[in-house]
Structure 1
Amino acid sequence: MKKLVAAIFFVAIVIIVWLLNTSLLVTPPSGTAKILAHRGIHQVYGLDGVENDTCTAERIERPRHAYIENTIASMRAAIDSGAEVIELDVHLTPDRQFAVFHDWTLDCRTNGTGVTEQTPMSKLKTLDIGYGYTADGGKTFPFRGRGQGQMPTLTEVFTALPHGRFLINFKSERREEGATLAVLLRAHPEWRKLVFGVYGGAAPTQETLRLVPGLKGYDKHSTLACLGRYAAYGWTGIVPDACHDTLIVVPGNYARFLWGWPARFAARMAAAGSEIILLGPYGGGDFTSGIDNADDLALVPPNFSGYVWTNRAETIGPLLGRRLAASSDQTNRN
């Protein structure tokens, strides 16, 4: 009898957990998937073996286009491909400007040397940011000369693309970067709507969030706090405080393990005031793996209305558009 009671109790718990977390009994948030273009449209490279000090410009794939990451031209091309948000990287220079450039040092991609944040913007403007790119081990450098003077400031990006939206990645742990961005947005309130969010270094990210009301953002600690606590007790329907009013990055290969994925999870996060960013498969290292090809699109649920992180906006934008159109046609026929 005790075994029977225990079995019935176990089955009842399973049924309750299923009812609380199945997506079959919830309407997903309205809207369609949106493209978030990592670094704009850029030259891609394999992630295998990449470490913090790897010069990725020396291992790019054979170029399919002429765009260089983090340039205004690459961001404009990403928007033209359907991207709603552009991710970009910033460094606060000694002359108090935000240089839009990925690397901590200049040696890999440019014809300059030194630490990016320690170099005045006036000097950075003289560099060729396409100098170091090669797809054949240094036999040829197809972008040399094409990036001369093309490193923009954040102010130039906002001015050139007034209808864009940007996810700003702080590359340092300098709290003053967050304070400086807040001052910039106060001085130009029309630019506040251009900032989708901030992330990266914990100190500048949290400082920006403290000083700019309503802005969303995340760092490694806040992401782990949200997803870790949700994994522990999210099955109850309770959304941890760490998951409220924020940006939640979800690796595509782990998404199915989240309580209520996809529709129930999305509805809970929407009710908590948060946005979901769906990444590609996570295999260690940083969160830069994207939804980058047709096979990866299988990780994007049919009714997903969050943001799809991609390194190939020029490919995924049209593919996602055709998938949505096909789904709409099927719905109409039914």
Structure 2
Amino acid sequence: MVDARPRWRKKRYVVGALAVLLVTFAFANNTQLFTAAGPEGPKLLAHRGVAQTFSTEGVANDTCTAERIDPPVHGYLENTVPSMRAAFDAGADLVELDVHPTRDGQFAVFHDWELDCRTDGTGTTRDLTMAELKALDIGHGYTADGGRTFPFRGRGVGLMPSLDEVLAAFPREPLLIHVKSDDPAEGAALAERLSALDASRLENIAVYGGDAPVRVVRERLPQIRTMSKGIMVDCLLQYEAVGWTGAVPAACANTELHIPESYAPWLWAWPSEFVSRMESAGSRVVLVAGSGGFSEGFDTPESLTRIPAGFTGYVWTNRIAEVAPLISR
């Protein structure tokens, strides 16, 4: 029997059937409905080691956070070797640290660009040698009561480490190095320093920060995981275009992806298969709290309930000592 339907109607039927097949394929390839959560829980990224915490409400880039710390519950100061060691001992799988170049060509591990907030010095890290920075008291400016008392004053002399000291203290532990500027020369200097490490050590080091310095590190040390805003945008835009097929764009290979909690559900195959896909491309996925604003972390028991079931990537926390015991491994 001859099909008497008009050709346009048959064509519309074929197009509709293909559309249904594509939608079905995309759904089946990315749904988590049939994925059972495994025994492995999330891993933990300790921001600046074990640190003094503070409210992030109203914090801007020029806010002196040492002047608004919470009442101290421990004696550690951020970005120091003791604080990093305490973080690993508490259960951190990865520790983040900040670096700045010094006048004599080294890298100081310190958060702020300027010294006036936390220390008894003035100027910037770039103004001083590493020896001069070590003579400063990095606990000088911390106060939890508006300046009436300074619980760490006098206790931080000699505690600002160089990057070399951190690498020597933690020869195998995973480290995430934050470049605090957008200076490509800083990226070149950091790449030169890290190039002296052997291949097995570089596997456990990642670098993130401004587009310009990170681009230089990525070009000179392509085996290191890297992240900048530009790398993130490039990777995720391409992934949103093709991720429904299960493919991972080349732009996402060997990266450090810090995914804001508010954006994560829009990613294809989030959470477990997304993490698996990125890990297969040599990349690490870190979930940060909220919209990814000023160092937002999963820092309370309530916040941990928002970590999606089946997520096996890394979780950013500012309170590693309190959070680690609450995470099922």
Alignment TM-score, normalising by the size of structure 1: 0.87
Distance in 1, Cα, partners of 2:253 & 2:198: 25
Is 1:303–2:295 an aligned residue pair? no
Pair 190,145 (structure 1): closer, same or farther in 2 beyond 3 Å: farther
Equivalences for residues 42-53 of structure 1 within 5 A? 42-53=51-62
Pair 281,314 (structure 1): closer, same or farther in 2 beyond 3 Å: same
Distance in 2, Cα, partners of 1:107 & 1:23: 50
Q: Which amino acid aligns with 1:115?
A: T
Which of 1 and 2 has greater Rg? 2
Question: Residue 115 of structure 1 aligns with which residue?
Answer: 124
Superposition deviation, residue 210 in structure 1: 1.6
Distance in 2, Cα, partners of 1:261 & 1:30: 18
Is 1:238–2:247 an aligned residue pair? yes
1:36-91 Cα distance to aligned partner (Å, 9 max, x none)? 11100101111111111111111111111111000111001001001121100001
Distance in 1, Cα, partners of 2:26 & 2:197: 49
Equivalences for residues 242-321 of structure 1 within 5 A? 242-282=251-291, 285-286=293-294, 288-320=295-327
Distance in 2, Cα, partners of 1:242 & 1:63: 43
Distance in 2, Cα, partners of 1:265 & 1:22: 11
Q: Which amino acid aligns with 1:89?
A: D
Unaligned runs of 5+ in 2: none
Superposition deviation, residue 176 in structure 1: 2.4
Unaligned runs of 5+ in 1: 325-334
Q: Which moved more, 1:219-228 or 1:59-68?
A: 219-228
Aligned residues: 319
Superposition deviation, residue 32 in structure 1: 4.1
Distance in 2, Cα, partners of 1:104 & 1:249: 22
SS in 1 for 2:177: strand
SS in 1 for 2:76: coil
Superposition deviation, residue 112 in structure 1: 0.7
Q: Which moved more, 1:117-126 or 1:9-18?
A: 9-18
Distance in 1, Cα, partners of 2:88 & 2:148: 33
Is 1:142–2:130 an aligned residue pair? no
Question: Residue 72 of structure 1 aligns with which residue?
Answer: 81
Distance in 1, Cα, partners of 2:251 & 2:199: 29
Is 1:197–2:197 an aligned residue pair? no
Deviating beyond 6 angstroms after TM superposition, the runs of 4 or more aligned structure 1 residues are: 4-10, 27-30
Percent identity reads: 48
Distance in 2, Cα, partners of 1:209 & 1:316: 32
Superposition deviation, residue 134 in structure 1: 0.9
Answer yes or no: is the 8 Å Cα contact 1:243–1:269 preserved in 2: yes
Distance in 1, Cα, partners of 2:199 & 2:118: 33
Q: Which moved more, 1:300-309 or 1:218-227?
A: 300-309
SS in 2 for 1:114: coil
Distance in 2, Cα, partners of 1:110 & 1:171: 18
Q: Which moved more, 1:234-243 or 1:197-206?
A: 234-243
The correspondence for 1:19, drawn from 17, 28, 34, is: 28
